[in-house]
Structure 1
Amino acid sequence: MGEDRETQQIDTCHQPSSKPSGFFAKLQSCPKPNSFIASVITKAVLGALLLGLVWAVTGPAFAPGQNLFGLVILFLSAVCGGKLISVFTFPNTPPVPALLGMLLAGVVLRNVPYVTDSVYIDQNWSSALRNVALAVILTRAGLGLNGSALHHLKAVCMRVAVGPCVVEACTVAVVGHFLLELPWIWSFLLGFVLAAVSPAVVVPSMLLLQTQGYGVQKGIPTLLMAAGSFDDILAITGFTTCLGIAFGTGSTWMNIGKGVLEVVGGILAGGILGILLYFIPSTNQADVVLLRSCLLMGLSVFSVFAGHAVGLAGAGGLCTLVLAFISGLSWAEQKAPVAAVVSRFWDVCQPLLFGLIGAEINISSLSVYTVGLGVATLSVGLLVRMSMTFIVVLFAGFNVKEKIFISLAWMPKATVQAAIGSMALDTAHSTGDEQLQYYGMEVLTVAVLAILITAPVGALIIGLTGPKLLQKYTTTHQHINTQDQRVKTCDIGSLESKL
Structure 2
Amino acid sequence: MDAQIRERFKENFKIVMKHRQANLILTSIIGFVAIYVTLVAIFQRNLFHPLAVYNVTNYDERPFDETEILDYTDPMVYQPRTFLGVDVPYEEDYILTILSLFVLWVCAVTLGKLGSYLFLPPLLGMLIVGILFGNIPTLSNMIHINRTWEDTLRQFAFICILIRAGISLDPEILRNSLYMCSMLGIGSTLVEVVIITLASYFFFGVPLAISIAFGFILASTSPAVTVPAMIRLQKEERGTDKGIPTVILASATIDNLFSITCFYIVLATTLNSLDNGQLSYTIPRILVEVLIAGIIGILSGLLIRSLPRKDASFLHFTRVAITVFMSLALYYGTQSIQCFIAGPIIVFFMCIVSAMKWKYDNTKRTKVEERAFRIMWILFFQPLLFALIGLLFDFSVITWELFGNAMAIMFLGIIFRCIAAFLISLCTSLNIQEQGFMSMCFIPKATVQAALAPSLAAYCLRRAETEPHANLVLQTCILSILITAPIGQLLILGLGRIMLFKRTVIADYNISNIGTNVSTYLQPNGNDRPKPVARNRNNATNPDKSYTTTVVI
TM-score interval, smaller chain: 0.7 to 0.9
The answer to whether structure 1 residue 67 and structure 2 residue 97 are counterparts is yes
Of 490, 505, 515, the residue aligned with 1:476 is 505
Alignment of 1:250-399 (within 5 A): 250-333=277-360, 334-346=365-377, 347-399=379-431
Given the superposition, is the C-alpha separation of residues 488 and 68 from structure 1 closer, same or farther in structure 2, using an over 3 Å criterion? closer
2:480 to 450, 459, 462: 450
Residues 362, 411 of structure 1: CA spacing in aligned structure 2 closer, same or farther, 3 A cutoff? Answer: same
| One-letter code aligned to 2:368 | P
1:205-216 equivalences in 2 (<5 Å): 205-216=229-240
User: What is the one-letter code of the residue matched to 1:489?
Assistant: Y
Deviation, structure 1 residue 68: 2.3
Amino acid at match of 1:466: G
- Describe the superposition over 1:76-118 as per-residue Cα deviations: whole angstroms up to 9, x where unpaired: 1111121121121xxxxxx211011111111110110122122
User: Is 1:108 matched up with 2:132?
Assistant: yes
Measured against aligned partners, the alpha-carbon deviations of 1:410-436 in whole angstroms (never above 9, x if no partner) come to: 21111222222223245667xx54555
Q: Structure 1-normalised TM-score?
A: 0.77
Partner of 1:121: 145
Counterparts in 2 of 1:110-189, with a 5 A limit? 110-189=134-213
Match of residue 247 from structure 1: 272
TM-aligned CA deviation for residue 295 of structure 1: 1.6
User: What amino acid is the match of 2:323?
Assistant: L
Map 1:389-428 to 2 at 5 A: 389-426=421-458
- The Cα RMSD (Å) is 2.8
CA distances 1:113-161 after superposition (whole Å, capped 9, x unpaired): 1221221211111111101111111111110111222333243333222
Structure 2 vs 1, CA of residues 76 and 148 (structure 1 numbering), >3 Å: closer, same or farther? same
Map Cα deviations across residues 370-403 of structure 1 (whole Å, 9 max, x no partner): 2221111011000100010111111312222222
List gaps (5 residues or longer) in structure 2.
1-89, 508-518, 523-532, 534-544, 547-553
Normalized against structure 2, the TM-score is what?
0.70
Deviating more after overlay: 411-420 vs 150-159: 150-159
2:112 aligned counterpart, secondary structure: helix
- Report the alpha carbon displacement of residue 64 of structure 1 after superposing the two structures with TM: 12
- The answer to whether the 8 A contact 1:421-1:447 is kept is yes
Between the aligned partners of 2:410 and 2:351, the Cα distance in structure 1 is 31
Summarize the alignment of residues 81-92 of structure 1 with structure 2, pairs less than 5 Å apart. Answer: 81-88=111-118
Distance in structure 2 (CA, Å) of the matches to 1:294 and 1:439: 41
Q: Give the SS at the match of 1:348.
A: helix
How much identity, in percent, do the aligned residues show? 29
**Map 1:460-471 → 2, pairs under 5 A:** 460-471=490-501
**Pairs within 5 Å for 1:5-84:** 66-84=96-114
Q: Deviations over 1:21-45 (max 9, x none)?
A: xxxxxxxxxxxxxxxxxxxxxxxxx
